[in-house]
Structure 1
Amino acid sequence: MSKPAIGVGLIGSGFMGRSHSLAYLNVDKLFELPFRVELRMLADQTEAQASRAADAFGFARATGDWRELVADSRIEVVSITTPNRLHKDMALAAIDAGKHVWCEKPLAPTLADARIMAEAARHRGVRTAVGFNYLKNPMMRLARDMIAGGEIGEVRTFRGIHAEDFMADVSQPWSWRLDPANGGGALVDIGSHIIAAARYLLGPIVEVDGRTDTLVTSRPIAAGAAERRTVAVDDVTTARLRFRSGVVGTIEANWLATGRTMQHAFEIAGSAGSIAFSQERFNELQLYCAGDEAARRGFRTIVAGPEHEPYGAFCVAPGHQIGFNDLKAIEARDFLLSIADDAPRHAGLGHAGLGHAGFDEGVAVLEVVDAIYRSARDGGQPVAIGVSAQ
C-alpha cells in the first residue's frame, strides 16, 4: 500500500536551504516514516533565483514570493532558512495557515519575538523544530546517556565553546550577520549552538554573567571597497553559567578564531571521570575514568558505530563516519516523526525520547542569550534566567 505524501515548502536556498533539501530527499529512504516526502515548492528573493534552486534541489515549483508558498494548500510543512530577522513573519504566516514549521536557529532576533512564535504554534497546534542539528549526533546522545547513567559520577563543571574563523579576515565585507536587527553577533549566531548543547547534556541554565567584545570595529561595505561600515555586534562573547543542578561552567562564542572552522566542543568533568567532544572529530567521544589504574589513566576514544543509533541507518560498519548533512537528515526524521506522533504537541527536548528541539527550546536558548547580553551591558552582573528555560 502506498504511503500518503507530505508536501514540503522551503523558503531560502543558501547553505542551510541546501542542507534542508538534502535532508528531505534522504530522510524517508534512510528511515521508516509513515509518509513519503514530496518537495513541492521553493521560494527565494526572485523568481529566477528560486527556479534555479528548485531545479537543483528537486522541488516541483518555484516562486519569488514566500507568501505564495505559505498559502499553498498542497504544502503541509514549511522550512525557513532565511536571515534571522525574517523568521518571525514567515513562521507566523505559516503557523496561521496550519503548517508545521522547521526554522533555522536562532528562532528570532529577540526573545519577545521567539515567545510570540512559540505561543502561536502552541495555540494553532502545529509541530515545530529549531535547527540545532549538532544535538542529533549519536555521540551527543551517548554523552547524555553516560552522564545520566552516572558513568562520570557527580557532574561538577562544564566548559563549552563554539569557535569558527569565517569572520577572522578583516577584509571580509559587512553582511547581514553583522546587522543588529538579526539579534546580535557571534553569541546569537553560533553561540546558540553551544548553549543548546549545554542544556541538552546538563539541563536548564538558571544564572549567567557575560562579557561581549567587538574586536573588528568596521568592515568594507563590499568586497574590495574602501568605504567601511561600523560593526555594532559582538565578535567574541564569554559567559559563566550556573545550571539548576548546581553544575557551574563557561561558554565562549567566537567567529574570529583563526584556524578553527568548527570548534563546537565541550568538556564535562565529574567526580569519577570526564567526557570531552569536538565537532571537528564528531564521530568520536573522549572518556576519562578516574578509577583506572594510575599507569593506564588517560582519555580513551569511543568511535561511532551502528551501536549508536541512528548511525546504522547510514553505514553498517563502525568507524566509517557520518557527516554534517546526515545530522540534518536525523533532524528531519525527528521533526517528521513529531508530526506523525500523537504525543502532546509542541514538545521540546523530551519529545518521544528523540531529543527533538521545538520552538519552546528555541525560546529557552534565547532566554540564555538574552540574559548574557543583558549581563554584558550591565558590566557582567549575574542575571537569573526566566521560567521558560526551566
Structure 2
Amino acid sequence: MTQARPLGVALIGTGFMGKCHAMAWRNVATVFGGAHPRLQVLCDMPDRAEAMAAQFGFARGTDDWRQAVADPQVDVVSITTPNGLHRPMAEAALRAGKHVWLEKPMALTLADAQAMADLAADHPGQVTLLGYNYLRSPAFQAARDLVAKGAIGRLLAFRGVYDEDYSADPLLPWSWRMTHEGGGLGALGDLGCHLVSLMVALMGPVDQVTAMTQIAVPQRPSPQGPRAVENEDSALALIRFASGAQGSFATSRVARGRKCRLQWEVHGGDGTLVFDQENMNELWVHQAGQPGFVRHLTGPEQPDFAAFCPGAGHNFGFNEQKVIECRDLMRAIEGQGPATPDFAQGLEIERVIHAMAASDGRTVTMKEFQG
C-alpha cells in the first residue's frame, strides 16, 4: 500500500525514548529520502504537553492520550510511556485503525503481551513494531549477515551480558519501575529483553532456559517510608536453543560502573564474532586460519551507515539506530517489507524473559510458555 499523504504521527511520552522517537521522525526523510512525516500531536502531562510539542516540532500538544490516538489526522502512534500503559494505549491505537510503534518491553505480563499480539493479528492491515533499536546497528546487521552466510560455520554457543548501574545506589528512591503493577519485570524487562532480541536474531529460537534472579536491594526509600522492591535487580540464565546450540545470559541494573555494557559473542565451528555496545563502532571477527581477531570499524560497506555518513570510522550513535528503525516502520506501512520485531515476534521475546523470571533454578521449556 502507498500512502496518499505523508504519515501523520502522534507521540505519547517525552522522556528519554520519547525524545529519541521525535528525533527519528524529524530526521528519517533527511537521511533516507521521501516525504517528511506530519508531526500532528504530542501527548504528555498538562504542564509539559504544549511546551514539548513546540520543542519537538509537533503541530499541537494534548494531555489526553485517547484524543491523540483517535485524531483522524494521525496514521501512526509512537508509544514511549511507562510500561503499565503499553497495553491500553497500543490496543486503543489498533482499534482506532492506527499503526503502532511501541517501546519495549511489550507489556507488564505475558498474558498482556499475548492479548496484544492476538489483537494485532486481528488487524493485519496495521503495522506493529517494537523498539528494539540495537537490532539496527550497522555492526549488528553486518554480524547477522555473516552468520546467515555461514562465515563462522555451524553456530555452537552464544554468550551475552547487558549490565547498567542506574539502580546500584541503595539510596535511590523507590519508583514504579520496581513494582510488578507499574514496571512488570525488572532488569529482564528493562535490559534483558534487548539482549534476547539480539540473541534470537543471531541464534534462532530458544528451546529451554535455566535461570536465577536476585533482588539486590529489597527496600528503597520513599516519602512514605521504606517500600519493597518487587522485581529483579539481576538475572542469570543458561540457554539451549532449538538448533542444539547453547548459551549464557546475564543482566543487571545494579552493576557498579557499568553504563551500557551490552556485550555478546557468537562461537561457530569456523569462527567467532564479538561486539560491545560501549564500543558500538567495532565488530571483532575471527575466522579459522587467522592468527587472531580482526577489528572491523563501521563504515559505508555496512548496512545503512552510508545514509548517514560517507566516511568509514566516523562513529555511528544510539539515536541513529532509531532513525533506521523509523525507516523500517515507514517501509512496512508502505508495503515494502515486514516490520520486525512486530507484536507476534515480540511475544516470543516476552516468553523467554518471563520463562527466565519463573525458572528459579529449574529448567523451563518454552512449550510451557506457549499460549
TM-score, shorter chain, exceeding 0.5: yes
Whether the aligned pair in 1 keeps the contact of 2:355 and 2:369 (CA below 8 Å) is no
Q: Which stretch shows the higher mean deviation, 256-265 or 310-319?
A: 256-265
For residues 21-170 of structure 1, what are the structure 2 equivalents within 5 Å?
A: 21-33=22-34, 35-46=35-46, 48-125=47-124, 126-170=126-170
Distance apart, 1:381 and its partner CA: 1.2
TM-score by length of 1: 0.91
For residues 308-323 of structure 1, what are the structure 2 equivalents within 5 Å?
A: 308-323=302-317
Residues 1:375 and 2:359 aligned together = yes
| Structure 1: stretches of 5+ with no match in the other structure | 344-350
Q: Tell me the SS of whatever aligns to 1:237.
A: strand
The answer for the alignment partner of 1:346 in structure 2 is none
Residues 1:211 and 2:221 aligned together = no
Whether the aligned pair in 2 keeps the contact of 1:4 and 1:36 (CA below 8 Å) is no
Q: Deviations over 1:273-293 (max 9, x none)?
A: 11100100111101122312x
Q: Specify the code of the residue in structure 2 equivalent to 1:22.
A: M
Whether the aligned pair in 2 keeps the contact of 1:12 and 1:82 (CA below 8 Å) is yes
Q: Deviations over 1:75-105 (max 9, x none)?
A: 0000100011110000111100000000000
Q: Tell me the SS of whatever aligns to 2:207.
A: strand
Residues 1:248 and 2:246 aligned together = yes
Distance apart, 1:45 and its partner CA: 2.6
Distance apart, 1:221 and its partner CA: 1.1
The answer for the alignment partner of 1:176 in structure 2 is 176
Distance apart, 1:387 and its partner CA: 9.2
Q: Tell me the SS of whatever aligns to 1:171.
A: coil
Q: Deviations over 1:190-234 (max 9, x none)?
A: 100000000011111111111000111111115xx8x22111211
Residues 1:330 and 2:330 aligned together = no
Distance apart, 1:179 and its partner CA: 1.5
The answer for the alignment partner of 1:348 in structure 2 is none
Cα separation, 1, equivalents of 2:213 and 2:241: 21
Distance apart, 1:268 and its partner CA: 0.9
Q: Tell me the SS of whatever aligns to 2:251.
A: strand
Cα separation, 2, equivalents of 1:288 and 1:308: 18
Distance apart, 1:272 and its partner CA: 1.6
Distance apart, 1:176 and its partner CA: 1.8
Distance apart, 1:19 and its partner CA: 0.2
Whether the aligned pair in 2 keeps the contact of 1:76 and 1:99 (CA below 8 Å) is yes
Residues 1:194 and 2:207 aligned together = no
The answer for the alignment partner of 2:236 in structure 1 is 238
Distance apart, 1:386 and its partner CA: 3.7
| Structure 2: stretches of 5+ with no match in the other structure | none
Cα separation, 1, equivalents of 2:287 and 2:336: 41
For residues 4-23 of structure 1, what are the structure 2 equivalents within 5 Å?
A: 4-23=5-24
- List 4+ stretches of structure 1 deviating above 4 A: none
The answer for the alignment partner of 1:298 in structure 2 is 292
Whether the aligned pair in 1 keeps the contact of 2:10 and 2:76 (CA below 8 Å) is yes
Distance apart, 1:356 and its partner CA: 2.4
Cα separation, 2, equivalents of 1:309 and 1:199: 19
Cα separation, 2, equivalents of 1:165 and 1:113: 28
Q: Deviations over 1:285-315 (max 9, x none)?
A: 01122312xxxx2222101101112000110
Whether the aligned pair in 1 keeps the contact of 2:142 and 2:303 (CA below 8 Å) is no
Whether the aligned pair in 2 keeps the contact of 1:364 and 1:388 (CA below 8 Å) is no
Equivalent residue pairs, number: 367
Whether the aligned pair in 2 keeps the contact of 1:363 and 1:388 (CA below 8 Å) is no
Q: Tell me the SS of whatever aligns to 1:180.
A: coil
Q: Tell me the SS of whatever aligns to 1:302.
A: strand
